Amino acid sequence: MDIIDAIKQRRSIKSFDKNHKMTYDEIKQILELAVLSPTSYNIQNWRFVIITEQSIKDKLSELSHGQQQVSEASLIIILCADLNSWNKHPERYWANIPEEPRNALIESLKKSYKDKVQLQRDEAMRSCGMAAQTIMLAAKSMGYDSCPMKGFDYESVGKMINLPNDHLISMMVVVGKKAKNPSPRGGQVPLSELVFTNKF
């Protein structure tokens, strides 16, 4: 499936085939594509907690207000971010470039993020949002469906996965074989209301 079709056909699925199991190679392929998503300064601040064990999925479903897609999906990806990734061995983010520009990037990175808590959080959300879209489109191109989710108890899920203190959870994406087609799209606002040329 090409990218245009994947974008057009991607929907938020609420009912999955609970008996379908994704292979290790399929899950790995989705994650290998996810880590090609862009991040500011190439800090790669996303962290992915993958859940395939049914008992854990059932517990996550409870923490998601009983939403069945969490229990039924083949794969749950909890998208987290390391808020301090900008300051954890940043030289590795540019390992393939010469030393002088690498050192300049490290200096610029630290000036940009040091003591800027809101920026660190904003960057985490931007990075995870782009990775989530990559995951959903990759899944669709592989014949799977998905659902992005924010409706869960973030604090309890964080405790459940041993979320480090300097990390946050952005969202979850569930992936699997759909068991039921979604309802028709509710309606798209026309481009004339959404797109502005050069200024509002």
- The mean pLDDT value for 99-116 works out to 96
Q: Are 135 and 77 in contact (CB under 8 A)?
A: yes
- The mean pLDDT value for 127-142 works out to 98
Indicate the pairing of strand 75-82 with strand 46-51. antiparallel
- The mean pLDDT value for 14-38 works out to 98
pLDDT tens profile 164-185: 999 999 999 999 999 999 989 9
- Average pLDDT of the chain to the nearest whole number: 97
Is pLDDT of 7 > 90? yes
Q: What pLDDT, on the 0 to 100 scale, is given for residue 1? A: 87
Nearest-angstrom CA–CA distance, 11 and 156? 27
Model pTM above 0.75: yes
The helix (run of H) or strand (run of E) holding residue 47 is strand 46-51
- The mean pLDDT value for 52-59 works out to 98
CA neighbor of 142 nearest in space, from 46, 33, 47, 15: 33
Of the listed ranges 2-6, 45-49, 131-135, 173-177, the least confidently predicted one is: 2-6
pLDDT tens profile 188-198: 999 999 999 99
- The mean pLDDT value for 115-137 works out to 97
Domains in the chain, CATH or no CATH each: 3-194 (3.40.109.10)
